[in-house]
Chain A
């Protein structure tokens, strides 16, 4: 906790400001199926640039990583990175008032850091303690904050006003980032981000290729998938409220469409 002390109040004030800005844009109660995209031309431009970077750099690196590093080693890399994310998960479990989840996160950390040898293995999962991803974007969503609008971040890819602000908060929730900053070891944060990116990308090579190949508007498809996936994560994947299909009246479609605009 010592690590967190420096300059923390000021940063939290900024984060809180960002939060309020997002909350102000949010439409409480409703969960529109489509995410607003007022920056679409800029977003499409960044999306295209990201694709170029992905094709020339990230995808080859991820493919190389997947094809030449043995499965168990890659699993351990992933387990290790995930174990390091514990503070973020724990903080967001607590912020969402989910004490059970916080207990699972805490026990997972304890078990995997000891029996799992510094997090290289995930024996906790075999004991029935499954990992659940949490972040501050989801925490805001949990309290009814809408996504605001869609943002494509350079290199990092799809996000939203809420989720980008959430990343910012998560960054400061993580003691490792403070340690890296306070000791001038910026490479820790950077290499961790790169490793996470390569790990994540190495698991979606075929899926993304296929979506790109089969879609007629790749950008719009990814935007829809991102939004739906985040909504599902906020609900923690339980009983997804499936979109209501009312095909008996055409007016229903028009009404929802009108509401969205």
Chain B
């Protein structure tokens, strides 16, 4: 009798603990998803502010944009992944130069796209976990046109949330960049220096 009720009590506690743990982890996951979505939405708002502030020089705008990029994106990590298997072949000096060149390249490339802003807004739709990352699904809403689907791969690391990839209508910017860089290196006979040269030229031409 006594033993029976002990077992029942124990069972009850177990179920209670299991239930609480489960709901806690579900809540934690939900919280993580919510805050990741919030992160993307805030970044979108900040980008919008940079875009609509009319009275500023091109330089100020580029600076604001650079700050936005380095806050929101893990550029060193993206750069490293964009170099793919050639990262290992690069010397330490080449690596550190590459990381700088890559950042400049990305800033100038994407700053060029800012000029075409015409009233689009970013709307966060949903998010889901993908391995250790969170994928935030969003839409860029345009007047009278079909919305563009943009998925953000966000990683929560030491420095908080950072975007590691942007996927526009199923096209990964990171993969595109990696394919392009791989092609440049292969055409230079597998020499990373070939890529560094092209990046230097490109950055110089655009600055």
Q: Footprint of B on A, CB under 8 Å?
A: 33-34, 206, 210, 213-217, 219-221, 223-225, 228-229, 231-233, 235, 237, 240, 242-245, 247, 250, 253-254, 256-257
Contacts and interface: CB of A to CB of B under 8 A. Distances in A.
B47 interface: no
Contact of A245 (B165, B180, B184): B165
Interface stretch (B8-16, B17-25, B35-43, B167-175): B167-175
A199 to B, nearest CB: 15
A244 B164 CA distance: 11
A232 B179 contact: no
Contacts of B164: 245
A257 B175 contact: no
Contact of B187 (A206, A217, A223): A217
A214 B112 contact: yes
Interface residues of B, number: 40
Contact of B176 (A210, A221, A231, A250): A221
Contacts of A216: 180, 184, 195, 198-199, 202
Contacts of A256: 85
A221 B179 contact: yes
Nearest to A238: B170
Given A228-B175, A229-B170, A215 B180 contact: yes
A244 B131 contact: yes
A9 to B, nearest CB: 37
B184 A220 contact: yes
Interface of B: 77, 80-81, 84-85, 87-88, 108-109, 112-113, 116, 130-131, 133, 135, 149, 151, 153, 164-165, 167, 169-172, 174-176, 178-180, 182-184, 187, 195, 198-199, 202
Contacts of A243: 165, 172, 174-175
Contact of B133 (A210, A220, A224, A245): A245
A33 B175 contact: yes
B112 A213 contact: yes
24 contacts: A33-B175, A214-B109, A214-B112, A216-B184, A216-B198, A216-B199, A217-B180, A220-B180, A220-B182, A223-B179, A224-B175, A224-B179, A228-B171, A229-B169, A233-B170, A235-B170, A242-B130, A242-B167, A243-B172, A245-B165, A247-B77, A253-B85, A254-B85, A257-B84
A242 B175 CA distance: 10
Nearest to B199: A216
B86 to A, nearest CB: 9
A220 B130 CA distance: 28
B135 A242 contact: yes
B92 to A, nearest CB: 14
The 10 closest A-B pairs by CB, nearest first: A232-B170, A220-B183, A224-B179, A257-B85, A214-B109, A240-B170, A216-B198, A228-B171, A253-B85, A224-B176
Contacts of A228: 170-172, 175-176
Given A237-B170, A242-B135, A220 B149 contact: no
A196 B183 CA distance: 31
A210 B114 CA distance: 11
A240 B151 contact: yes
Contacts of A220: 179-180, 182-184
Given A237-B149, A247-B80, 14 more contacts: A33-B179, A210-B112, A215-B180, A216-B202, A224-B176, A224-B179, A224-B180, A228-B176, A229-B169, A229-B171, A242-B165, A242-B172, A243-B175, A247-B81
